[in-house]
């Protein structure tokens, strides 16, 4: 079995994504990338997170060819590939329809620096790309263009759809999706109560510096 550890991670973190309320039903999908072999393990299409076992995970290359697996891959495989092609340090991608990030996506608003929890994204404004039909190459191309236009961002909002983000590993990618959902929730609540005041670009720059020495 190719990428066994990655397949197990996708099952484990799929459950976490679901339990954290970041996804409902079978929405959302996760992947892990192995740059040494150019292979991506990605969640199968339309199977519940608690019904998925490691053998349901599909192994593909970044051109969309299935290398191993009996299931159909997530319909958003091209979207995941876009991150690995445009972010050489990306090793995991998490895509969710989390309610607050998706609320901002429905408003076609970027996630802004209403809280420093945004900083894991690498930017002080997570871009929101125009609406494109889910599961299409056109959506992957639209997100690719945003990744080129915003070279520091690890996350993109997709209008009337949801959030997608990458990190150097699955645990970090999941944590980033949680942090961005929190930030989006605070932004939306602040928008309901008034006009959010944003952390300045300069203050965010010092937060990015602090982040380098944060944690264990």
Which residues make Cβ contacts (< 8 Å) with residue 29, sequence separation at least 6?
42, 43, 74, 76, 80, 95
Residue 85 · residue 165 · CB < 8 Å: no
CA distance 109 to 132: 16
CA distance 177 to 183: 10
Which residue's CB atom is positioned nearest to Zn ion?
162
**Residue 139 CB, nearest distance to Zn ion (Å)?**
9
Q: Which is nearer to Zn ion, 94 or 119 (CB)?
A: 94
Q: Which is nearer to Zn ion, 122 or 162 (CB)?
A: 162
**Residue 75 CB, nearest distance to Zn ion (Å)?**
8
Catalytic residue among 68, 76, 125, 203: 76
Q: Which is nearer to Zn ion, 6 or 158 (CB)?
A: 158
Q: Which is nearer to Zn ion, 39 or 74 (CB)?
A: 74
**Residue 12 CB, nearest distance to Zn ion (Å)?**
20
Angle, helix 170-193 to helix 4-19, in steps of 10 degrees:
20
Q: Which is nearer to Zn ion, 14 or 162 (CB)?
A: 162
**Residue 164 CB, nearest distance to Zn ion (Å)?**
8
| Strands (DSSP E) found in 44-198 | 58-61, 66-68, 92-96, 111-112, 125-126, 128-129, 155-158, 162-167
CA distance 197 to 34: 41
Our answer to whether residue 63 is catalytic in this structure is no
**Residue 134 CB, nearest distance to Zn ion (Å)?**
5
Interface residues toward Zn ion, by CB under 5 A: 162
CA 43 → CA 71, 89, 106, 135, 195, distances in Å?
9, 21, 25, 14, 39
Catalytic annotation, residues: 76
């Amino acid at each position: 079995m190719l990428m066994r550890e990655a397949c197990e991670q996708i099952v484990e973190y799929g459950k976490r994504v679901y339990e954290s309320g970041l996804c409902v039903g079978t929405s959302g999908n996760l992947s892990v990338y192995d740059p040494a072999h150019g292979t991506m393990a990605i969640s199968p299409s339309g199977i519940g997170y608690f019904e998925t076992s490691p053998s349901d995970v599909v192994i593909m290359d970044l051109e969309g060819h299935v290398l191993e697996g009996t299931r159909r891959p997530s319909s958003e495989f091209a979207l995941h590939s876009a991150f690995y092609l445009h972010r050489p340090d990306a090793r995991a991608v998490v895509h969710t329809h989390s309610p607050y990030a998706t609320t901002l996506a429905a408003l076609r608003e970027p996630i802004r620096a209403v809280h420093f929890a945004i900083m894991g994204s690498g930017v002080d404004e997570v871009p929101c790309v125009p609406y494109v039909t889910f599961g299409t190459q056109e959506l992957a191309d639209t997100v690719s263009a945003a990744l080129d236009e915003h070279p520091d961002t690890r996350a993109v909002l997709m209008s009337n759809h949801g959030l997608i983000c990458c990190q150097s590993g699955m645990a970090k990618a999941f944590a980033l999706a949680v942090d961005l959902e929190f930030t989006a929730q605070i932004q939306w609540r602040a928008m309901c109560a008034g006009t959010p005041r944003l952390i300045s670009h300069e203050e965010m720059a010092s937060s990015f510096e602090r982040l380098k020495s944060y944690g264990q």
